[in-house]
């Protein structure tokens, strides 16, 4: 990752871009292989051995073996693919989300029920922390729609 | 001549599909989501489209990272539901409309939108969940043929909002040059705000979503100028799916009638958004039919209608 992108400023987010897609081809194809029952069995029988088929870097292999989902994303994994690994482990998606956010599944579920994680304070690493114009809620369109929908 | 009569925006949360398939629709948590679509099902049953074009994205089901098409149009005669790890969803096979699909492909490619043509494809929850929400749970077959349009929103960068909006316009032109008389409804699916990856997972931004729905209805061109980074910052990394709604919007008139809207947080990890927009001409036709008025008579303007309502005796619920 040499070039800086505007989206690198978003905290807690690994954008699956073309560069990561290239880097993480092995991780994602490994996850894709778990769609088949016989592959899930082979992986479960000997994880390290099974992973050798996918031309992974040592860091990628380690992240998969440790189920370090954030690290997998950072090294080119994509969430829709890594979710298949979570499912192979018998975990719900919410469990994975909780792991990635560093909270317990219970805490995470409660946060979602209470309306989710607020965007306030979570927009930017560099302090661009004010809402964009489009989301200011003071648009002309909003007021007209409210009256119209009566 | 075929024509696009209305557009539907709807989230396509996988957990909604799981709740349907496992008979959980009556549980309080899910009931509050599904009840928001009761009116939509009624509406859909009334307008009875001949064909539905569904703009959606595949979630590592039909497409892996081997091939990542930006726009892929399903031209097959049928699209089986894919196995997303728990066996295929127990929903009918999605029947296509190969003739119209081929016509659209030919027309939009000559309009400089370089679509990928797919003649064999399975479809995942991204397509089947919105069908369930609007058509219910038919046993044997869906009420109309469906043309899937899969958009890459998984790998960055997806097509820009403006590109999506313009593709919608090209699709409309294609539909309107098809000789058979068909009423077409177009779906934009995905969103609204959600992030399911990384330490910021769980992000929801209702204020942004509401502004998005408002502008979708009234000022869609404003939405076409939103850069990708803003979608991701404000609506979550996966919230960028919302660009797909702009294909639907582009295929409608500039000015539309908002028939219905529903928004609820959360279903699983996602803010559920839903909107129904009708083209004015079609809306007026339906209005005349309902009120038994002759052809040519236009609906009363909003101002006049409100004035008439104000004169009526106070019978309306909630009026003081």
Q: What pLDDT does residue A136 have?
A: 45
**H or E, element range at B290:** helix B280-290
Query: In this structure, which topology does domain A6-92 adopt according to CATH?
Result: Protocatechuate 4,5-dioxygenase; Chain A (1.10.700)
B194 is known as an active-site residue: yes
Give the pLDDT confidence of B12-22 residue by residue, as tens digits: 999 999 999 99
Query: Over the stretch B201-230, which tens digit does the pLDDT of each residue have?
Result: 999 999 999 999 999 999 999 999 999 999
Which chain B residues touch A134 with a CB distance below 8 Å? 208, 211-212, 215, 222-223, 226, 230, 234
Query: Concatenated DSSP letters for B96-163?
Result: --HHHHHHHHHHHHHTT--PEEESS--B-HHHHHHHHHHH---SS--SS-EEEEEE--SSBPPPPHHH
Which band of pLDDT confidence, cut at 50, 70 and 90, is reported for residue B319?
A: very low
Q: What count of Cα atoms within 13 Å lies in the side-chain half-sphere of residue B52?
A: 27
Reported confidence tier of residue B31, pLDDT bands at 50, 70, 90: very high
* Residue A121 Cα, gap to closest chain B Cα (Å): 11
Residue A117 to residue B271, Cβ atoms within 8 A: no
Dig out the tokens for B298 from the structure: 């236009």
Identify the pLDDT of residue A2: 56
| Contact at CB, A73 and B197, closer than 8 angstroms | yes
CB contact B292 to A (< 8 Å): no
B274 is annotated as an active-site residue: no
Residues of chain A in contact with residue B222, where contact means CB-CB under 8 angstroms, are 134, 139, 141
Query: Both tokens of residue A53?
Result: 């088929």
CATH architecture assignment, domain B3-311: 3-Layer(aba) Sandwich (3.40)
Of B198, B218, B266, the CB nearest to A14: B198
ipTM score: 0.87
For residue range B170-198, list pLDDT tens digits in order.
Answer: 999 999 999 999 999 999 999 999 999 99
Give tens-digit pLDDT for A96-145. Answer: 999 999 999 999 999 999 999 999 999 999 887 777 765 544 444 433 33
Is there a contact between B232 and A15 if contact means CB atoms under 8 Å apart? yes
pLDDT band at B314 (very low <50, low <70, confident <90, very high): low
Tokens of B308: 């008439």
B173-201: burial string, b at 16+ Cβ within 10 Å, e else: ebbeebeeebbbbbbbbbbbbbbbbbbbb
Q: Which chain A residue lies closest to B235 (C-alpha atoms)?
A: A119
DSSP B86: S
Q: Which pLDDT score, from 0 to 100, does residue A149 have? A: 39
Residues on chain B touching A131 (C-beta within 8 angstroms): 207-208, 234
In the predicted model, what is the mean pLDDT of chain A?
Answer: 87
Per-domain residue ranges of chain A: 6-92
So where are chain B's domains? 3-311
Q: What is the pLDDT of residue B85?
A: 79
Given a cut of 50, whether residue B282 has pLDDT beyond it is yes
Interval B81-135: pLDDT, tens? 998 877 899 999 999 999 999 999 999 999 999 999 999 999 999 999 999 999 9
């Amino acid at each position: 990752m040499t070039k800086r992108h505007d989206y690198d400023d978003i905290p807690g987010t690994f954008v699956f871009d073309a560069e990561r897609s290239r880097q993480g081809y092995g991780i994602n194809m490994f996850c894709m292989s778990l769609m088949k029952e016989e592959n899930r069995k082979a992986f479960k029988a000997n994880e390290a051995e099974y992973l050798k088929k996918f031309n992974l870097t040592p860091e990628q292999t380690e992240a998969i073996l440790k189920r370090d989902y954030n690290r997998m994303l950072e090294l080119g994994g994509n969430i829709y693919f890594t979710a298949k690994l979570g499912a192979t482990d018998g975990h719900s998606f919410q469990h994975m989300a909780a792991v990635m956010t560093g909270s317990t599944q219970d805490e995470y579920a409660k946060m979602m029920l209470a309306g989710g994680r607020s965007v306030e304070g979570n927009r930017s690493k560099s302090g661009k922390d004010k809402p964009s114009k489009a989301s200011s809620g003071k648009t002309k369109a909003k007021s007209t729609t409210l009256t119209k929908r009566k | 001549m075929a024509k696009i009569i209305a557009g539907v925006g709807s989230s396509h949360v996988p957990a909604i599909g799981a709740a349907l398939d496992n008979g959980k629709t009556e549980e309080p948590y899910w009931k509050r989501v599904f009840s928001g679509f009761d009116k939509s099902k009624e509406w859909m049953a009334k307008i009875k489209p001949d064909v539905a074009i569904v703009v959606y994205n595949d979630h590592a089901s039909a497409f892996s990272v081997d091939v990542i098409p930006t726009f892929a149009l399903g031209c097959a005669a049928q699209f089986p539901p894919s196995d997303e790890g728990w066996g295929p969803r127990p929903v009918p096979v999605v029947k296509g409309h190969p003739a119209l699909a081929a016509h659209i492909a030919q027309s939009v490619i000559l309009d400089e939108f370089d679509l990928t043509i797919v003649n064999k494809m399975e479809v995942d929850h991204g397509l089947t969940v919105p069908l369930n929400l609007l058509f219910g749970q038919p046993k044997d077959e869906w009420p109309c043929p469906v043309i899937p349009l899969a958009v890459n929103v998984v790998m960055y960068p997806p097509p820009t909002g403006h590109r999506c909006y313009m593709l919608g316009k090209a699709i409309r032109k294609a539909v309107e040059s098809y000789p058979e008389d068909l009423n077409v409804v177009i779906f934009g699916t995905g969103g609204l705000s959600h992030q399911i990856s990384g330490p910021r997972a769980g992000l929801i931004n209702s204020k942004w979503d509401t502004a998005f729905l408002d502008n979708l209805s009234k000022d869609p061109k404003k939405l076409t100028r939103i850069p990708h980074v803003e979608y991701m910052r404000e609506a979550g990394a996966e919230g960028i799916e919302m660009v797909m709604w702009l294909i639907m919007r582009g295929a409608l008139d500039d000015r539309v009638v908002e028939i219905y809207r529903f928004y609820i947080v959360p279903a699983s990890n996602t803010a559920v958004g839903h909107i129904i927009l009708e083209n004015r001409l079609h809306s007026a036709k339906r209005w005349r039919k309902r009120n038994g008025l002759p052809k040519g008579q236009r609906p009363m303007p909003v101002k006049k209608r409100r004035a008439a309502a104000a004169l009526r005796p106070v019978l309306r619920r909630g009026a003081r």
